Structure 1
């Protein structure tokens, strides 16, 4: 595929358009009421809520604030999370499905009220959300989803057309949703948190939790954060606590381009019902109306084609339907999907009442993260929350399809683990071109080798430091990605995404 029409570098518009403050690395032992690990939307919203209630709070991040999934989102504030409500009714009954909707609807209202309360300028735009299809096979699914809306009293409608500049066979609307600039919103929340006494630390990786009278976060540099409570808002829990999270969810990547197009949309946010996913929402960049087109997702490290091809697929779709003039940005995101598609929010295990986790947002993090922060704040305050049992990580996975997925996910992990160990490729490293990578064998050891733009060759042991699977090369982000649980590393072996907490081992090629 011709990829010259795409930016050379993966850069999130959200990051490129906002200067987020930076903070020092933790270099001493500290004591707080609540230690929050993860500086994304969940962690910062929780810090905001808890500090308002007088708790002494610190937030630590392994990298820099807002550089994870929060900074690489489509930033839709909506409870329309694809075709989910008919499925939730089948798995959890109407009461369970209604809890999911109400939690996310309340999260949307909380974001809007917080923006209004603090007069935050973040391009908040109220708009309707749509699921559309051009597949005859998916028309019935949309009709069933509409029936679910009616059962749950979700405001919406179903029709045969919409404002998209191409025909659709059926479209389902959820009214009064929204989108915004997430980093502008969270930058102001960080400032408010600081005014409330919250301490932020960057480049501070949490390795584990130890117990004495209460939990203590142990960092990579062996510093200690003594807490009454710990919130794991780190995307993937760094501390499992025998909750067995690696076997209860999987990591998936998706892609986004920001395109200037000849054809526009008058309003609405859109996502299709079929695969591959195509998400569409308007965005204004430099006073011009552009489109964010996302989708083309796959399990992390398990694409059947070079990663750049996913961006190209989005480009081709956009050009076909909207006529691309230029692509200003491209970026990707990583999300976690649970067995029953409902996030794990609550105590890491039933026995550990003061260590909490929030994960598995299934690509719908704006409302789910806000809902998580609200729920965890209530649990810490020992305040009743009607969503506690529904989102509990310790809930029973009731649905038979989820059990089959459980077997499938872990068979998949075993397959990649064995495949990587048996696979012994040898590629002539001398033939590598700049910005190319290969899997080779160095002194009998599987090695990932990358040549940078200056001609410097970097080699790493390809065994993931999490549970021992073999990583694969991602040519779109210049990263080594684990196909088992989603850990990602730079070409020098440093960690980009957990659950890994240790970098890949470097290999000396003797060049």
Structure 2
């Protein structure tokens, strides 16, 4: 396996820069970057996730007509695949339904730390959730680390699994007290925590929480192995059997009943139970839009000239800074950070540049090999929502709000949901309960998130916009303007062709904003994203942006 990008800029698997086969570039691929960052130019590195560049691509067929299974899982990320795997291991027939390709989205763009150390979370949980539920969270995530390790060993999965200590560190002496409190909280639950004042990082830290014997892996290689078992379950010698994985199939309706029914653009799925593991629930019966905050962050795969840290590191200050080694290349590290609320960055290209600048300040970097962006949702109280989707639903479940810590929370979610569906008691279900409302833990984020959303909604519809004039729109530029009194989002591609779509997000009517780093239209209210032709890239929007005919291709 090579980690070097092809010299001609092509994808090693052919024309796969846009796995969704859409007409415009997006953050699942897009144009390859220049080798060296230049002022005003494209940021360094190939614009693709390292994980997708170094793993096999999937080609599961779409649904073809109506099927009947025990459980339907909507969404092919880590939570969906982990849940499906747990269910087939218990003898259930499962259909995984994915809009695009499995493991291409957030799971395919993670830094892939498999750790129960999630910033400074345990002291927060004790204060706002109580000791017992904080213990549940600790047990669930530490058990997930070992569950991954056991599964790798049991199924002999070649996924670059390795053990390493994990650190959450601070650089200011004034923050040291919070680190010590976190160590004390983690030790209450038997977690492998210690306080240290020195690390192998090439810069000083004021203090750090260290968790021993944590892990990292290649997320796609691990989960592709699980997905293969899901796809093969309930298949007969002739290939028949209704369980399996169905890609490029869009869910259009979720009907809770006995049995449940999933409407799709390619047929109906009838199932006893349904799991919505779609990053953001495609059917929102419990006002998740008001309880989930969308965020984007950025990752570089950098080759170092000097020594590579053996441990995994996380600075929780805003914006965060993350470092972890790559298992099969001694000189390669993944560096993440520059997080921001979706649709709220003046220039996402500048976020790549700033992350590289900060990385070069701290490490002796030889080259930037890859760069990519990712999106996740954070719950307003910092704990994921895993369990029954809403009180009024009997057999529909949800898994969302992982807040950047989905490698263990996603695995734990699979266990929780499989237990609930098969009638087993689960010791962690209470802390993840989606119907909870912890006022002390969530009041500030609840107000802030919804204030942002409502502010952008009214600002977008009240604030005046210029009339559309394409004469000043250069290749690679985009604008939101009025065309016959309707807001329109217009992008001129590198060849000069104009792409025009409605600027109104079909989720709740907010106006989209241009993302120059991924060349997409992003909704600043609830995080929906669309490509240059209006196709959905990220939910909660289910429908795309309407195409707008400007009558001319240029003016």
Report the counterpart of residue 479 of structure 1 in structure 2.
520
Q: Tell me if the contact between 2:535 and 2:545 (Cα under 8 Å) persists in the aligned partners.
A: yes
Q: Which residue of 1 aligns with 2:418?
A: 377
Secondary structure of the 1:275 match is coil
What is the CA–CA distance in structure 2 between the aligned matches of 1:163 and 1:3, rounded to whole Å?
34
SS at match of 1:333: strand
Residues 403-423 of structure 1: per-residue CA shift (max 9 Å, x gap): 232122212111000011123
How many pairs are equivalent? Answer: 506
Match of 1:491 among 518, 532, 546: 532
Task: Give 1:253's aligned residue.
Answer: 296
Q: Which of 235, 239, 244 is the equivalent residue of 2:279?
A: 235
User: Residue 139 of structure 1 aligns with which residue?
Assistant: 176
Contact conserved, 1:165 with 1:263, CA < 8 A, in 2? no
State the 1:212 CA deviation: 4.9
Any stretches of 5+ residues in structure 1 without a counterpart? Answer: none
Q: 1:436 to 1:125 in 2, by over 3 A?
A: same
Could you say what the CA RMSD is over the residues aligned between the two structures, in angstroms? 1.5
Listed one character per residue, the Cα deviations across residues 3-55 of structure 1 (whole Å, up to 9, x for unaligned) are 64734763111001111321112131111110110011111111111112221
Q: Residue in 2 aligned with 1:355?
A: 396
Note the C-alpha offset of 1:63: 0.8
1:299 is aligned to 2:341: yes
1:129-278 counterparts in 2 under 5 A?
A: 129-197=166-234, 198-221=243-266, 223-241=267-285, 243-278=286-321
Matched, 1:417 2:457: yes
Deviation at 1:124, TM superposition (A): 0.5
CA contact (8 A) 1:264 1:322 kept: no
Name the counterpart of 2:434. 393
Q: Secondary structure of 2:369's match?
A: strand
Contact 2:81 2:227 in 1 (8 A): yes
1:293, CA displacement in angstroms? 0.5
Residue aligning to 2:503: 462
1:127 is aligned to 164
The answer to whether the aligner puts 1:317 opposite 2:361 as a matched pair is: no
| SS of structure 2 residue aligned to 1:110 | helix
Confirm or deny: 8 A CA contact 2:230 2:245 kept in the other structure: no
Describe the SS at the equivalent of 1:203: coil
What residue in structure 2 maps to residue 289 of structure 1?
331
Per the alignment, do residues 375 and 318 of structure 1 end up closer, same or farther by CA in structure 2, a change over 3 Å counting?
same
Aligned to 1:99: 136
Counterpart Cα distance in 2 of 1:390 and 1:319: 40
* In 1: Cα distance, 2:269 partner to 2:368 partner: 44
User: Which TM-score applies when normalising by structure 2?
Assistant: 0.89
Give SS of 2:459's match: helix
* Structure 1 position 392, deviation (Å): 0.8
Secondary structure at 2:335's aligned position in 1? strand
Indicate yes or no: 2:79 matched with 1:42: yes
Matched, 1:55 2:99: no
